[in-house]
């Protein structure tokens, strides 16, 4: 990744979009604000010189330390992070985008944090976003049909969240 040079291009194209960056990491990543995510992605795919035409993977990382003892030593605030791994088949270059979201929408447990869906930009995002919604409980606005993909349709709760409690029974099957 050509690091800083590329960063300026994004900064120039979308002022205020970049909320943070970490170029020395093993996989240097760029943090983008939730509102600017969709335009940046569209720009990356179509107009940037190294066309990122392939979205490899969307992951949601739930930053919450459940047990109180360790929570005290933790430096970061509880939040959710969505990581987009892009790849350009033309110039064979990869890029990591991150978006920070609150764990619950305006801290109301139960209402899911929302971010714009990139299904319109890359068709593969359709299923990946459904899986993130299904397992980590992130709302993707503008997604064609946001349904659970891996868990049964009527499953409550989002398994990959740190504070997830397994239901006692599901349709008569003892779960715990």
Partner 1 sequence: MMESPTLPVFVAAINWHSLLFYLFASAACGFAVAVVLTENVVRMAFYLVLSLGATAGLFFLAGADFVGAMQLMIYVGGTLVLLVFGVMLTAQAPLVSIRTSPADKVLGGLVAASLLAVLLQSAFSVEAWRRPAVGDVGTPSATPLGMALLGVRVDADPTTETTALPAGQRPVSATQAAALNPSTRSGYLLPFEIVSVHLLVVLVGAAYLARAKRRRTPRSTETAGLDAGGGP
Partner 2 sequence: MASLTNDDPRIIEFDVRTDEMLVNMGPQHPSTHGVLRLVLRTDGEVVSELEPHIGYLHRCAEKIGENLTARQWIPYTDRMDYLAAMNMNLGWALVVEKLMRHEVSEKARHLRVLIAELGRISSHLVGMGAYGLDLGTFSPFLYAFREREKILDLFEETCGARLTYSYITVGGLTADLPPGWLEKCEAFLDQFEPVIQEYHTLLTTNAIFVKRTAAIGVLSPEMAIDYGCSGPVLRGSGVDQDLRRDGESIYTSMYDGYAFEVAVQKDGRYPRDHIYPAVPTEAVLGDCWHRFFVRMLEVVQSMDLVRQAIDRYSACKGSIGEPLKLMEKIPVGDAYLETECPKGQMGFYLVGDGSPIPWRVRARSSSFSNLSVVHELCRGCLIADVPAIVGSLDIVMGEIDR
Long-range contacts of 3-11 (CB under 8 A, 24+ apart): 3/28, 6/95, 9/48, 10/40, 10/43
CA atoms within 13 A on the CB side of 103: 20
61 contributes a contact to partner 2 by CB under 8 A: yes
Instruction: From the list partner 1, partner 2, none, pick the one residue 119 interacts with, judged by a Cβ distance below 5 to 8 Å according to partner type.
Output: partner 1
The Cα–Cα gap between 144 and 14 comes to 26
Q: Is 147 in the site for partner 1 (CB under 8 A)?
A: no
44, 119, 121, 135: residue in contact with partner 1 (rule CB under 8 A): 119
CB 143 within 8 A of CB 159: no
69 is a contact residue toward partner 2 (CB under 8 A): no
CA distance 138 to 112: 6
Out of 71, 123, 141, 167, the only residue in the binding site for partner 2 (CB under 8 A) is 123
The percent helix, strand, coil of the chain (3-state, each to 5) is: 25, 25, 50
Question: Which region, judged by CB under 8 A, interacts with partner 2, from 9-17, 36-44, 110-118, 159-167?
Answer: 159-167
* Residue from the set 30, 52, 126, 158 that interacts with partner 1 by CB under 8 A: 126
Q: Which of 3, 4, 144, 157 binds partner 1 (CB under 8 A)?
A: 144
Nearest approach, Cβ of 125 to partner 1 (angstroms)? 10
| Distances, alpha carbon 122 to alpha carbons 12, 22, 82, in Å | 24, 25, 16
Q: What count of residues does the chain have?
A: 176
Contact 165/175 with Cβ under 8 angstroms? no
Q: Is 152 in the site for partner 2 (CB under 8 A)?
A: yes
Binding site residues, partner 1, CB under 8 A:
119, 123, 126, 144-145
Binding site residues, partner 2, CB under 8 A:
25-27, 53-57, 59, 61-62, 83, 85, 89, 92, 94, 96, 122-124, 126-128, 131, 135, 148-152, 159-160, 164
């Amino acid at each position: 990744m050509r690091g800083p040079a590329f960063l300026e291009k994004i900064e120039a194209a979308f002022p205020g979009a970049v909320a943070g960056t970490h170029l020395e990491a093993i996989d240097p990543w760029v943090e983008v604000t939730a509102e600017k995510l969709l335009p940046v992605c569209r720009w990356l795919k179509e107009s940037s010189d190294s066309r990122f035409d392939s979205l490899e993977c969307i992951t949601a990382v739930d930053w919450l330390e459940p047990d109180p003892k360790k929570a005290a030593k933790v430096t970061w605030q509880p939040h959710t992070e969505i990581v987009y791994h892009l790849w350009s088949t033309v110039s064979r270059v990869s890029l990591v985008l991150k978006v920070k979201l609150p764990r619950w929408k305006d801290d109301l447990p139960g209402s899911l944090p929302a971010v714009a869906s990139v299904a319109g930009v890359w068709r593969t995002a359709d299923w990946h976003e459904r899986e993130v919604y299904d397992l980590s409980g992130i709302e993707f606005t503008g997604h064609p049909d946001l349904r659970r993909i891996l868990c049964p349709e009527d499953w409550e709760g989002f398994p990959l969240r740190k504070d997830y409690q397994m239901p006692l029974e599901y349709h008569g099957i003892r779960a715990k």
